[in-house]
Every structure is written in structure tokens, then in C-alpha cells.
Amino acid sequence: MKPIFTDARVAWHDSMHERSLSITAASMSQAESSAKQTEQRRQRIEVVFAAQGDDKEARIDILRQKLNATETRGDKFNSTNRGAKVAAMARIQRAVAGLPKLLQSFGNFLYSPNPTAADMEYSRYLLAKHVRLPAMTDQQSSKVESLIIPALLSYRDTAFGGREHWSPGRIIEFAHQYEVSFSAANWARDWSSVWERLLDACGGFDQQALDPVWVEINKERGDAANDG
């Protein structure tokens, strides 16, 4: 069977859609849905045959046998594929759960379909605590905090959204929410190196968060190659 996931970011995102889903629950849901659909088809067909002559019972019996065979094959295929995907998602979830809390939240902020306010706050704290900044004046240091959330959002837009990094104008506009002002004319001189350090730090934390997810993906690739 082909690997379920080939990209760590996509794997993280998709796996967080169904955090509490188990293979058993998925299989039961699939079976119940399939059984209900099959019974509805049988009832419709038997109503049609009831008006078509004396041999209707024999024809219904033959059709029932065909339906049973078809549904058994279909259910097996769907259940196998669904079960494989749920199992792959469970392995990714387990890999994510093994990360330190701050890196879990950082990855969830970037890739979860439903990142929380706590994910953003932990990500902000991680970046603020560990980023290595160039030498700055006291006035510059007091402004750095207002750039951390824009850096996180900009990195997320680029890493998983396929968009360009935020422009200086957009960063400056966002910082106004914190009542912090930057000079657009002096951005390149005073702040571009700080901004690049923040983005580089995001890239480093991103790699650390994704490493165990890539381990699971590469292991699945190896298993698929051996089976093939």
C-alpha cells in the first residue's frame, strides 16, 4: 500500500482533524453506514420485483446473493483504506504528543486546522525567550515584542499558506495595534535584521517540531517499499 502521507506539514494538519478517532470507531461507523445503505437498496429492489411476475422470489434471492458479495468486497476495501489512514494519523498524533509542550503548540499554531489562543501564546513565548537578536538600543528592545506575533503569522503564511512574507508596511500596520510605531523609511536600517532573526528562529523551531513527524513518514515509506 502507498504511504498515506508524504509531507510532514500536511500530515500534521490532517491528523489533527480527528484527534479522538480510533480505528475501531471508524470501522464501526463505516459498517453501520454500509449496512443501512444495503438494506435500503434491497427494500427498493424487492418492491420493484414484487410487480414483475411469479418468479420474483427466485430473482430476489439471486440479487440478494450478488448484493452480499458486492457489499462484502466494497466494505473490505473501504474499511482497509480507512483503517490505514486512521492508523497513520494515530502515529502522527503520537509523534506530536512526544514533543515538548512549547514545540507542540508551535506546530499546532502553524499546522493545526483549529489552533487555539494557547497555541499562539506558547508560540509567542517560545520565540521571545529563545530568539537571538542583534545588539539593540533600549528603545529598540522595547519594540521587539510587537514584532513577534507578526513574525509568527508571516512564517505561517509562507510555510503552509504558500504566500509571501509580510511586507514592512503590513508589519508596521499590525504593530499599531500595540500602539508601537516604526519608521518605514528606516525599516531596512533599523529592523530588517531583527525581522530576519525572528523568521530564522521560526524556521528552526518548525524543523524541530516536524522532525518526529518525518520519522514516521519515512518509516512508512520504508515499509511500503519493502512490501512492494
Average pLDDT over residues 8-19: 87
pLDDT at 61: 64
Please state, in angstroms and rounded to a whole number, the distance separating the CA atoms of residues 49 and 63. 10
Give residue 14's domain range.
8-97
Average pLDDT over residues 128-133: 93
Q: Which one-letter DSSP state was computed for residue 116?
A: -
Identify the band that residue 145 occupies on the pLDDT scale cut at 50, 70 and 90. very high
- For residues 162 and 124, state if they share a domain: yes
pLDDT tens readout for residues 22-32: 444 444 344 44
Q: Label residue 108 exposed, middle or buried (CB < 10 Å: 0-12, 13-18, 19+).
A: buried
Residue type, 87: A
Identify the band that residue 224 occupies on the pLDDT scale cut at 50, 70 and 90. low
**How many CB atoms sit inside 10 A of residue 91's CB?**
20
Please state, in angstroms and rounded to a whole number, the distance separating the CA atoms of residues 97 and 111. 14
- Confirm whether 85 is domain-assigned: yes
The answer to which of 54-68, 91-105, 148-162, 201-215 has the lowest mean pLDDT is 54-68
- For residues 68 and 157, state if they share a domain: no
- For residues 201 and 109, state if they share a domain: yes
Confidence check: pLDDT of 215 > 50: yes
Stronger pLDDT, 114 or 221, i.e. the higher one = 114
Please state, in angstroms and rounded to a whole number, the distance separating the CA atoms of residues 104 and 122. 9
- Confirm whether 215 is domain-assigned: no
pLDDT at 27: 44
pLDDT at 17: 79
Count of domains forming the chain? 2
Long-range own/partner contacts, residues 44-51 (CB < 8 A, 24 or more apart): none
- Confirm whether 46 is domain-assigned: yes
Query: What is the chain's mean pLDDT, rounded?
Result: 81
- For residues 74 and 162, state if they share a domain: no
- For residues 199 and 108, state if they share a domain: yes
pLDDT tens readout for residues 33-50: 544 554 555 555 444 444
pLDDT tens readout for residues 188-207: 999 999 999 999 999 999 99
Contact residues for 214 (Cβ-Cβ < 8 A; gap 6+): 8
pLDDT at 42: 52
pLDDT tens readout for residues 80-117: 677 788 888 999 999 999 999 999 999 999 999 999 99
pLDDT at 24: 43
Q: Are 144 and 189 in contact (CB under 8 A)?
A: no
**How many CB atoms sit inside 10 A of residue 81's CB?**
13
pLDDT at 28: 39
Tell me the percentage of the chain whose pLDDT exceeds 70.
69
Predicted TM-score (pTM) of the model is 0.72
- 120-155 burial, b for 16+ CB within 10 Å, e for fewer? bebbbebbeeebeeeeeeeeeeebbebbbbbbbbbb
Q: Are 75 and 30 in contact (CB under 8 A)?
A: yes
Please state, in angstroms and rounded to a whole number, the distance separating the CA atoms of residues 182 and 203. 25
Ranges of beta strands (E only) in 65-224 are none
pLDDT at 69: 54
**How many CB atoms sit inside 10 A of residue 224's CB?**
13
pLDDT at 72: 47
Please state, in angstroms and rounded to a whole number, the distance separating the CA atoms of residues 127 and 173. 21
- For residues 134 and 198, state if they share a domain: yes
